[in-house]
Amino acid sequence: MEIGGDLLKIKNTLEKSVGKKVRLTSKKGRKKSIIRQGVIENTFPCIFTVKLDGSKGCEAGISRRVSYSYTDILTKAIEIAHC
């Protein structure tokens, strides 16, 4: 199995999705997951950033950004679905 090739495919797919709305599902334990929606903002060599839509617990008007590594997708720690 070629992990480097898989990571490159993930990165290329996300580069094509910059500016598009996505739904992120983060796995936080055995039966717990967090679902958020946002826009893929940028891609970098090792990580990508997502600007979240009005995340819960934040004051109105404050945008929140999160970053994930491409290995998070490869290891299925997070799942991304296009809206």
Looking at the structure of the chain, the number of domains it has is 1
CB 38 within 8 A of CB 25: no
The tens digit of pLDDT for each residue in 37-75 reads: 999 999 999 999 999 987 555 555 677 999 999 999 999
63, 52 contact by CB (below 8 A): yes
Instruction: Write out the residue range of the structural domain in which residue 77 sits.
Output: 3-82
- Tokens, residue 39: 């826009």
Tell me the C-alpha to C-alpha distance, in Å, between residue 55 and each of 15, 34, 79: 23, 11, 18
> pTM of the predicted model, to two decimals?
0.81
Q: Decide if pLDDT at 29 tops 70.
A: yes
Q: Which among 78, 61, 83, 64 has a CA at the least distance from the CA of 10? A: 78
CATH number at residue 63: 2.30.30.100
Give the Cβ contact number of residue 15 at 10 Å: 12
